[in-house]
């Protein structure tokens, strides 16, 4: 049977139909080209800058899986030089040139790809900018650098005709950048929601499962190499906000706008919130959410109640997970280790292999996430206008009429109550805790009602609020 071959032209809206398969033979040959074992043909040289947790693992995985990696790339990939202030005890550097001056690596004319694993936005930024100016491709795991300076970095890279690849910057070992850029390329993305900070998820999971102390779990996450140098980045949602803007830039073809993300951390979550949520059929996760609403985009990071039946609600420990809803494909879930040395190294090396393939086949380099010029004015939605359901927890005097005062205020604000629960006061106590789950409501309306509730004489302290998303 013959299948007609279609060539689509968006500008003319004409469809050319051919029954001649020879027209496509070149495509099939190049798409299914495989490596024939002769790695002497072309060699791609790597300059590895930074030999910390991720750098040392990248080096070791490259050495350990050298044959597989070169075979998949279709060329020989070698670490030609390492730039690091000190050696790493886990790395055998005998067969590689090591320089204490990172810029010596960046300026090394033999090197094709600079792998920036220094972190931060000072020296790392200089390294990346100079590598681009020197005409080198760059692989980086640096989410802060891409989120805060990516627009300029991509523009410089485009001018120089080099590639910037940053798979490892988001969700550790999960190939989420490739999923967005390649696998979901056909879709108009409606929303994405992700657990994109492993440390935060590790902390919430340990609190939920073992009732462990927040600070104690954080120390363990630091010892395991999950946490950022400054762990407030993990706890206060800064790290997740960095990752969210990177995902949103790809999903919605928009510039990186890190400073516009609404960010709320997990330090306000108490074990009792996790327990109440559980009783109501929810798990609490720290989510990064990007959603298209009409012509505008919401960008927010905050703790969120998710129905326990959702797969993402059951992603625990240091694991990350991202749900992406495309108009054609529907919701898809990507899950895996979101932090840690080797998972991150896995993503770094995937980018190296990608670029090595390009170089060795002399194809055009590609610049991820450029191409947003015509939609760069897409407005960001103010958090005041964002609609979600809410979990509210408040301490009340255990006397008649209090519950109805709360529900009256909510109902006067047009907010309905989906679920409500009151705990019995402890022995000898007069205060009880009330938990309410509302319907979806704009934040500004919710805050108006909460302010009124907080003025009631029978209420003690503030109303504790956590957003709820059905992710359906
Ligand atoms: N601190 C980050 C996390 C590391 O916990 O997810 C990976 O980006």
pLDDT bracket for residue 17 (50, 70, 90): low
Q: How large a percentage of the chain has pLDDT more than 90?
A: 79
Whether 12 has a pLDDT exceeding 70, the answer reads: no
* pLDDT for the residue numbered 306: 97
Tens digits of per-residue pLDDT, 98-129? Answer: 999 999 999 999 999 999 999 999 999 999 99
**For the chain, where do the domains classified as CATH 3.30.360.10 start and end?**
176-337
* pTM score, whole prediction: 0.85
Q: How far apart are CA 44 and CA 76, in angstroms?
A: 6
DSSP three-state, residue 264: coil
Q: Is ligand 1 within 6 A of the CB of residue 226? A: yes
Q: Where in the chain is the domain with CATH 3.40.50.720?
A: 44-172+342-360
Tell me if 161 sits within 8 A of 365, measured CB to CB.
Answer: yes
Residue 322 pLDDT > 80: yes
The whole-number pLDDT of residue 165 equals: 98
Q: Span 211-232, mean pLDDT?
A: 90
What pLDDT, on the 0 to 100 scale, is given for residue 425? 76
Instruction: With cut-offs at 50, 70 and 90, classify the pLDDT of residue 362.
Output: low
Mean pLDDT of 410-429: 88
Question: Is 228 near ligand 1, meaning CB less than 6 Å away?
Answer: yes
Question: Is residue 57 within 6 Å of ligand 1 at its C-beta?
Answer: no
CA dist list (Å): 460 to 127, 249, 397, 428, 433: 54, 43, 8, 17, 10
Superfamily of domain 384-468: ACT domain (3.30.70.260)
**Residue 167 CB–ligand 1 contact under 6 Å:** no
Pocket test for ligand 1, best of 223, 234, 235 (most atoms within 8 A of CB): 234
* Confidence bin at 55 (pLDDT 50/70/90): very high
Pocket flag, ligand 1, residue 142 (CB < 6 Å): no
197 close to ligand 1 (CB < 6 Angstrom): yes
Residue 201 CA to ligand 1 centre (angstroms): 10
How would residue 19 be classed by pLDDT, with cut points 50, 70 and 90? low
325 CB-near residues (< 8 Å, 6+ apart): 189, 190, 191, 192, 331, 332
Task: Supply the DSSP string of 326-390, one letter for each residue.
Answer: ETTTEEEEEEEE-SSHHHHHHHHHHHHHHHHHHHHTTPPP--TT---GGGTTPPBPPGGG-EEEE
Compute the average pLDDT of residues 217-245: 93
pLDDT number for residue 34:
35
- Indicate the average pLDDT of the chain: 89
Distance 335 CA to ligand 1 centre (A): 14
> Atom of ligand 1 at shortest distance to CA of 227?
1
In tens, the pLDDT along 65-104 reads 999 999 999 999 999 999 999 999 999 999 999 999 999 9
**Residue among 431, 432, 414, 415 at smallest CA distance from 423:** 432
pLDDT in tens, 392-416: 999 999 888 999 999 999 999 999 9
Mean pLDDT, residues 206-216 taken together? 91
Ligand 1 atom with minimal separation from the 320 CA:
6
Lowest model confidence (mean pLDDT) among 19-28, 59-68, 283-292, 339-348: 19-28
pLDDT (mean) for 441-461: 96
Average pLDDT over residues 441-462: 96
Q: How confident is the model at residue 13 (pLDDT cuts 50, 70, 90)?
A: very low
Q: Are strands 417-422 and 431-438 parallel, antiparallel or unpaired?
A: antiparallel
Encode pLDDT of 165-198 as tens digits: 999 999 999 999 999 999 999 999 999 999 999 9
Nearest one of 357, 366, 58 to 182, comparing CA atoms: 366
Active site residues: 243
Of all protein residues, whose CA lies closest to atom 4 belonging to ligand 1? 339
Ligand 1 atom with the shortest distance to the CA of 201: 5
pLDDT for 229: 87
Residue 372 has pLDDT above 70, yes or no: no
Residue 145: which residues within 8 A CB-CB, separation 6 or more?
Answer: 116, 120, 121, 124, 125, 128, 153
**What is the rounded CA–CA span in Å between residue 392 and residue 394?**
7
CA–centroid distance, residue 156 to ligand 1 (Å): 27
Atom 8 (ligand 1): residue with closest C-alpha? 339
Pocket test for ligand 1, best of 339, 341, 342, 346 (most atoms within 8 A of CB): 339
Pairwise CA distance, residues 380 & 382, whole Å: 6
Homologous superfamily of 176-337 in CATH?
A: Dihydrodipicolinate Reductase; domain 2 (3.30.360.10)
Share above pLDDT 70 across residues of the chain, in percent, rounded to a whole number: 88
Model confidence pLDDT, tens digit, residues 265-307? 999 999 999 999 999 999 999 999 999 999 999 999 999 999 9
pLDDT of residue 15: 55
Asked if 421 contacts 435 with a C-beta cutoff of 8 angstroms, the reply is yes
Q: What is the assigned CATH class of domain 44-172+342-360?
A: alpha beta
């Amino acid at each position: 049977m013959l299948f007609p071959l279609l060539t689509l032209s968006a500008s003319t809206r004409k469809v050319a139909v051919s029954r001649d398969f020879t027209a496509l033979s070149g495509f099939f040959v190049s798409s299914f080209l495989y490596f024939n074992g002769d790695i002497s043909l072309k060699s791609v040289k790597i300059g590895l800058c930074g030999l910390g947790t991720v750098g040392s693992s990248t080096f070791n995985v490259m050495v350990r899986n050298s044959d597989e990696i070169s075979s998949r790339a279709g060329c020989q990939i070698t670490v030609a030089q390492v730039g690091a202030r000190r050696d790493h005890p886990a790395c055998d550097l005998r067969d590689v040139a090591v320089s204490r001056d990172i810029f010596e690596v960046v300026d090394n004319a033999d090197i094709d790809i600079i792998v920036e694993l220094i972190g931060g936005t000072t020296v790392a930024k200089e390294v990346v900018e100079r590598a681009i100016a020197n005409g080198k491709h760059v692989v980086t795991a640096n989410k802060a650098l891409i989120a805060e300076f990516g627009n300029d970095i991509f523009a410089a890279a485009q001018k120089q005709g080099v590639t910037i690849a940053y798979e490892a910057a988001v969700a550790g070992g999960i190939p989420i950048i490739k999923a967005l850029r390649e696998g979901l390329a056909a879709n108009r993305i409606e929303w994405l929601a992700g657990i994109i900070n492993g440390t935060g998820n590790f902390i919430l999971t340990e609190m939920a499962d073992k009732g462990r102390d927040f600070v104690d779990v954080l120390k363990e996450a630091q010892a395991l190499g999950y946490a950022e140098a400054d762990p407030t980045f993990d706890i206060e949602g800064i790290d997740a906000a960095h990752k969210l803007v990177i995902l949103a830039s790809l999903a919605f073809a928009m510039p990186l706008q890190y400073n516009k993300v609404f960010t709320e951390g997990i330090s306000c979550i108490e074990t009792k919130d996790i327990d109440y949520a559980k009783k109501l059929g929810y798990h609490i996760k720290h989510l990064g959410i990007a959603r298209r609403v009409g012509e505008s985009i919401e960008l927010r990071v905050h703790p969120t109640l998710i129905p326990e039946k959702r797969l993402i609600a059951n992603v625990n420990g240091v694991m990350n997970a991202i749900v992406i809803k495309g108009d054609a494909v529907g919701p898809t879930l990507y899950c895996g280790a979101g932090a840690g040395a080797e998972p991150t190294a896995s993503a770094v090396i995937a980018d190296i292999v990608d670029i090595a393939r390009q170089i060795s086949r002399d194809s055009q380099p590609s610049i991820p996430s450029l191409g947003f010029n015509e939609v760069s004015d897409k407005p960001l939605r103010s958090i005041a206008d964002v609609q979600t359901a809410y979990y509210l927890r408040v301490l009340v005097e255990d006397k008649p009429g209090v519950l109805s005062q709360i529900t009256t205020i909510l109902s006067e604000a047009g907010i309905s109550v989906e679920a409500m629960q009151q705990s019995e006061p402890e022995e000898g106590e007069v205060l009880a805790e009330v938990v309410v789950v509302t319907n979806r409501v704009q934040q500004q309306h919710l805050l108006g009602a909460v302010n009124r509730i907080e003025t009631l004489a029978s209420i003690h302290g503030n109303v504790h609020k956590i957003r709820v998303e059905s992710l359906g």
